Amino acid sequence: MHQQTSETFDRNAREALADVQLRGALRNLATTFGGRRKEAIATVEDWEGLRDRARAAKDETLAHLDKYLEQFVGNAEKAGAQIHWARDGAEACRIVLDLIRARGASRLVKSKSMATEEIHLNAALEAEGLAPVETDLGEWIIQLAHETPSHIVVPAIHKSKRQIAELFAEKVGIEPTDDVAVLTGAARRILRRSFAEAEVGISGVNFGVAETGTILILENEGNARLTTSLPRTHIAVMGIEKVIPKFTDLDVFLKLLPRSGTGQRLTAYQSLITGTKRRPEDEGPEELHLVLMDNGRSRMLSHPVTRQSLACIRCGACLNACPVYQQVGGHAYGSVYPGPIGAVITPQLSGLKQSAQLPYASSLCGACREVCPVKIDIPELLLHLRAEVTEGTAAGTAAQHGPVKSRPLERLAFGLYARAWSSPTLYLWGARVARLLQGAVVRKGRIGKVGGLLAKLAPPLAAWTEWRDAPPLAPRTFREQWREEQKR
């Protein structure tokens, strides 16, 4: 298999569609998570009102992000946390690495975090001879298999039970079994040892409360709680957009997030961490380091349309609901953020030049917008990015990553279309000529698969008719019929 990047989305997607095993693993995604989500949101009285409140809280934060960050940092420091600012991923990785080195640590555990995936922290640490252990079961599986997550909430969703059993047999040395209890038991034994020995725990952050300086981490396995409480040092990497103003805002988000993503009413573990431990007999780490990371976020913040990308709470609902994601899975997107929100965020993080395909990897059906707990208008964002692709503007992005590839043929086609369709005469004559020509391809009242020269001349027609018939132009247009009727 070739290296899957967002640049090769089309190829990645074709490979994914041909992967029977993957299609099988994805088959139940929509029904399982979608169905559970529906049941879970039915238990909330005013779901729509809740969504509005969540979005309002996010909008308020994003409108005054500097103020809330300052407040958050002040309160976190007061509680004993140490703050580090990182402009980009490389800087964030360096900060984490330096912290580990300064402590002479080598035994590291990690809980699941998209922010650290985003900056490829593991690779950066491994390049320096360190071996962080992922402790979320799904992430651990992915790490064993040397893969990347294919979903932001269920990272190993692309793997079948059988594949996982084989992986365990090979890497963990247990008898091949599809007994989930045996598999998780084996994982637990190994991970417990890592926890007991760990010197540094690395986590992400779901929410940072400005009012109190508290960070909140949500998870279902208890591994994040161990990661953040057993080792002497806890390093949490968080995007600057994770701040929310008040403690009471959590009420809304804690109702929305688990219901939207996994269809749970409550996440099993909700760890609220405010600074370090105060007295020796307390539990928890002696040091807490918060790495606050920008990595393209202020650019998103600067435009009124793209700003809403930062409201995302990484629940995964839009992935589960997306017809494209349901078919091709996460790896096809070539980014740690797949699916609809990935198609929006990835080009803004890594540049439109490299990810120009992603905004087009959507039928604009709007299912993502419908399920998004914070009402992000993902189709609007996709359209905005598409316009940036064709206009090659991508303000900050272009400057940073070079201009977007021009598409001369497509541009010509749309230019011609806009001209011809602006003139009733051209429109009329265009249609008449097409009607005359189509005789060559219409059989039994439809246009079947076209090949040869025509396929070369009209690639869209070839792409359409490869799997679908095309309807012929009608003998008489509606306007011709109308005119005749008016004469009578």
Partner 1 sequence: MRVSLFITCLIDQLWPSVGSSAVEVLRRAGCEVVFDERQTCCGQPAFNTGYRAEARRLARRFIEIFEEGGADYVVSPSGSCTAMAHHFHELFADDEAWRRRAEALAARTYEFGGFLVNVLKVEDVGASFKGRVTWHDACHGLRDLGLREEPRRLIRGVRGAEFVELANADSCCGFGGTFSVKYPEISVAILDNKIDAIEKAGVRAVVSGDASCLMQIGGRLTRNNSSVKTMHLAELLASRE
List residues binding partner 1 (CB under 8 A): 10, 13-14, 17, 30, 323-324, 326-328, 359-367, 369-370, 380, 383, 385-391, 410-411, 414-415, 417-418, 421-422, 424, 427, 431, 446, 448, 459-460, 463-464, 466-474, 476-483
Instruction: Give the other-Cβ count within 10 Å of 330's Cβ.
Output: 26
Helices (H), 172-236: 180-197, 223-229
Selected from 96, 114, 230, 317, the binder of ligand SF4 by CB under 6 A is 317
Angle at which helices 180-197 and 161-171 cross, to 10°: 50
336 contributes a contact to ligand SF4 by CB under 6 A: no
Give me the amino acid identity at 313: I
Phi and psi angles of residue 128, each rounded to the nearest 5 degrees, phi first: -100, 15
> How many angstroms separate the CA atoms of 287 and 294, rounded?
23
Q: Which residue, 100 or 368, is less far from ligand SF4 as judged by CB? A: 368
Q: Retrieve residue 448's tokens.
A: 């079947």
User: 3-state SS string over 128-144?
Assistant: CCCCCEECCHHHHHHHH
Pick what 76 binds: ligand SF4, partner 1, none; C-beta below 5 to 8 Å, kind-dependent.
Answer: none
Q: Which residue, 318 or 356, is less far from ligand SF4 as judged by CB? A: 318
Element (H, E) at 8: none
381 contributes a contact to ligand SF4 by CB under 6 A: no
User: 3-state SS string over 57-70?
Assistant: HHHHHHHCHHHHHH
Pick what 36 binds: ligand SF4, partner 1, none; C-beta below 5 to 8 Å, kind-dependent.
Answer: none
Q: Which residue, 316 or 329, is less far from ligand SF4 as judged by CB? A: 316
Burial class (CB in 10 A: 0-12, 13-18, 19+), 39: exposed
Q: How far is the CB of 207 from ligand SF4 (least distance, A)?
A: 13
Q: How far is the CB of 475 from partner 1 (least distance, A)?
A: 9
Residues 348-377 that bind ligand SF4 (CB under 6 A): 371-374, 376
Q: How far is the CB of 311 from ligand SF4 (least distance, A)?
A: 7
> How many angstroms separate the CA atoms of 428 and 480, rounded?
10
Q: Which residue, 73 or 317, is less far from ligand SF4 as judged by CB? A: 317
Phi and psi angles of residue 292, each rounded to the nearest 5 degrees, phi first: -95, 120
Selected from 58, 225, 255, 314, the binder of ligand SF4 by CB under 6 A is 314
Contact range with ligand SF4 by CB under 6 A, out of 77-85, 172-180, 197-205, 313-321: 313-321
315 contributes a contact to ligand SF4 by CB under 6 A: yes
